[in-house]
């Protein structure tokens, strides 16, 4: 049994369009179906899916992924902790370094534009 967590896919309209343009019509349809599962009233996704149902693919397809969990909607606030965790642990030294870099950048902007932001 694998110790890795199940892979989550992010289905977006842009990703579906890219897949369709690259000839992966089946992949685009799969992404659009996932979008419509979460947002049944998504008109752009429904329209693109209807157009793609009339097309034949070029034979290109991404390797078949294992069956994923049922798609669910997500908010940025729910995704942010996972993204932060993927960057690795942060130490107080990292935070201090980031604060110094931000301060240097802000000082440079202030010097170039003036304290009131007028150029």
Tens-digit pLDDT profile for residues 70-110: 777 888 888 888 887 887 777 778 888 888 888 999 888 88
Give tens-digit pLDDT for 20-64: 898 888 889 989 999 999 889 999 999 999 998 887 655 555 667
Is residue 20 in some structural domain?
A: yes
- Structural domain containing residue 117: 90-119
* Residues in the chain, overall count: 119
The total number of structural domains in the chain stands at 2
Report yes or no on 95 lying in a domain.
yes
Burial of 25 (0-12, 13-18, 19+ CB in 10 A): buried
**52: how many CB neighbours lie within 10 A of its CB?**
17
User: Closest Cα to residue 19, out of 74, 103, 10, 90?
Assistant: 10
Q: pTM higher than 0.85, yes or no?
A: no
Q: Which residues contact 98 (CB under 8 A, 6 or more apart)?
A: none
**In a domain? residue 85:** no
Position 104 in a domain: yes
């Amino acid at each position: 049994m694998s110790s890795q967590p199940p892979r989550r896919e992010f289905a977006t309209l842009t990703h579906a369009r890219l897949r369709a343009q690259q000839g992966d019509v089946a992949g685009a349809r799969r992404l659009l179906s996932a979008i419509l599962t979460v947002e049944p009233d998504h008109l752009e996704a429904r329209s693109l899916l209807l157009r793609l149902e009339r097309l034949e693919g070029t034979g290109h397809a991404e390797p078949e992924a294992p069956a994923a969990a049922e798609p669910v909607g997500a908010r940025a606030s729910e995704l942010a902790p996972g993204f932060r965790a993927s960057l690795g642990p942060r130490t107080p030294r990292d935070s201090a370094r980031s604060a110094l870099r931000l301060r240097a950048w802000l000082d440079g902007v202030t010097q170039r534009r003036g304290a009131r932001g007028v150029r």
